[in-house]
Amino acid sequence: MTFKEFLALVKSDIDLKKHWFLKNDTPFNKNVRVWLEPGTIAVVVYRFGHWTNHVKVPILKQLLRLIYILGKSVVVLGFGIYIPSRFKMGKGLAIHNFSGIFIPPTTAGDNLFVFQNVTIGHLRGQGGRPPKIGNNVFLGAGAKILGDITIGNNVVVGANSLVMNDVPDGCTVVGVPARVVSKETTWIQEKLDGVGDHW
């Protein structure tokens, strides 16, 4: 990953957050305040850390990793958000609220929406493999995604739901344990149409 690619990913994250949460907000909130929100800072620090993994010059890499570790410490201790630099995420990561968010070193596609108290983790006895997340996935507040499972594309996980089984594309799941309540979830893609055409 080049530095230019790192900047492009950060831009995709900010554009997504503006379009989804701040589309009708004031110019100040869309262009200044958005950069000061804990969720945005956490995403930028994660993207920076992921980029430093690809730096080739050893001395420069160590210096950049030190900066990343300091930034990550602020994000974890100050905001309660844990996203490791080994997490592989496509473009468009939006964390709207903060606190109690845990994401392991797993993989996710484009456009992931995360609210407060979301946990993505592995289960003992499954080889430590965490869930894999598809494109256009919305994780409501308090959602728990656990185990060696796959969350498909265009999936909504309702608030406080516990997901321990695969979720097919286009589904909305709610409850403990989560159950499918809709197999025709299209509103995420519809709302995303037109976002990031310039990415």
- Domains of the chain from N-terminus onward: 1-80 (no CATH), 100-193 (2.160.10.10)
Q: How confident is the model at residue 189 (pLDDT cuts 50, 70, 90)?
A: confident
Alpha-carbon dihedral sign for residues 181, 106, 95, 120: positive
When pLDDT is averaged across residues 191-198 and rounded to a whole number, the result is 63
Catalytically annotated residue among 50, 54, 122, 198: 122
Question: How many beta carbons lie within 10 A of that of residue 37, not counting itself?
Answer: 19
Whole-angstrom Cα distance, residue 129 to residue 123?
8
- Which residues are CB-contacts of 4 (< 8 A; sequence separation ≥ 6)? none
3-state DSSP percent of the chain in helix, strand and coil, to 5: 35, 20, 45
Segment 71-88, tens digit of pLDDT: 999 999 999 999 999 999
Q: Which helix (H) or strand (E) holds 107?
A: strand 107-108
165 by DSSP, 3-state: which? coil
Segment 89-131, tens digit of pLDDT: 999 999 988 899 999 999 999 999 999 999 999 887 666 789 9
122 is catalytic: yes
